[in-house]
Amino acid sequence: MKPHEEHRSRGPRELSFWVVTVSTSRYEAMASGKNYADESGDRAVALISQAGYKVVGRSLVKDDVVMIRGILMDLLRRPDVDVVVFTGGTGVARTDVTVEAVRPLLEKELEGFGDVFRLRSYQEVGTAAIMSRALAGVSNGKLVVVLPGSPNAVETGLGIILPEAPHIIYLARS
């Protein structure tokens, strides 16, 4: 076993995830009782479950700094949540504020996550990868991940973070 495989194996076996979709249009559909699809959130839940982790909850918020920081602080205080996954609101439009909302609340940023995410995106979609903002870090002993709001980006991002989550949580709590 190589060192990083050893470390990885020392992490908690069971991890509990919470998935937060950031989307004003879906939020307003939900609020007015209309039907809406949340393909990115659905994909996240499916991938997390397939990897053998638990999804203990799911939320939908607007592209709004206060709502995003609010749900993040709710989850950081919950003892039954280990990993928070945001999807959506990461582009360069003025309404995209998820990265801006979450970054100042991380204790340490995993700078390499963005690098590996872009490397894989580049291999998949070429230069369009430059528009993908993505973020991971730790706070209060939990892992926080921010991914773009497309099912493909969610798949790319979780493909990187899911194998490492137990190790990151182990270190963040040490």
Start-to-end CA span in the chain (Å): 22
Nearer to its own copies, 44 or 61 (CB): 61
Residues that bind its own copies (CB under 8 A): 2-4, 8, 66-67, 69-70, 72-74, 76-77, 91-96, 104-105, 107-108, 110-116, 118-119, 121-122, 125-133, 136-140, 150, 152, 159-161, 163-164, 167-168, 171-172, 174
CB of 100 to its own copies, least distance (A): 8
Q: Which is nearer to Mg ion, 48 or 145 (CB)?
A: 145
Please state the closest distance from residue 121 (CB atom) to its own copies, in A: 8
The minimum distance between CB 33 and its own copies, in angstroms, equals 21
Question: Running DSSP on this structure, what letter comes out for residue 51?
Answer: T
Residues in Cβ contact with 75 at an 8 Å cutoff, skipping those fewer than 6 apart: 18, 20, 81, 84, 142
DSSP run (H or E) holding 171: helix 151-172
Output 50 or 95, the one with its CB closest to its own copies.
Answer: 95
State the residue for tokens 């996240």: 44
Say if strands 83-87 and 142-147 run parallel, antiparallel, or are unpaired.
Answer: parallel
What is the residue whose two structure tokens read 């909850």? 57
Q: Which residues bind Mg ion (CB under 5 A)?
A: 114-115
Cα angle 149, 55, 158 (rounded to 5 degrees) comes to 45
Question: Nearest distance from residue 166's CB to its own copies, in Å?
Answer: 12
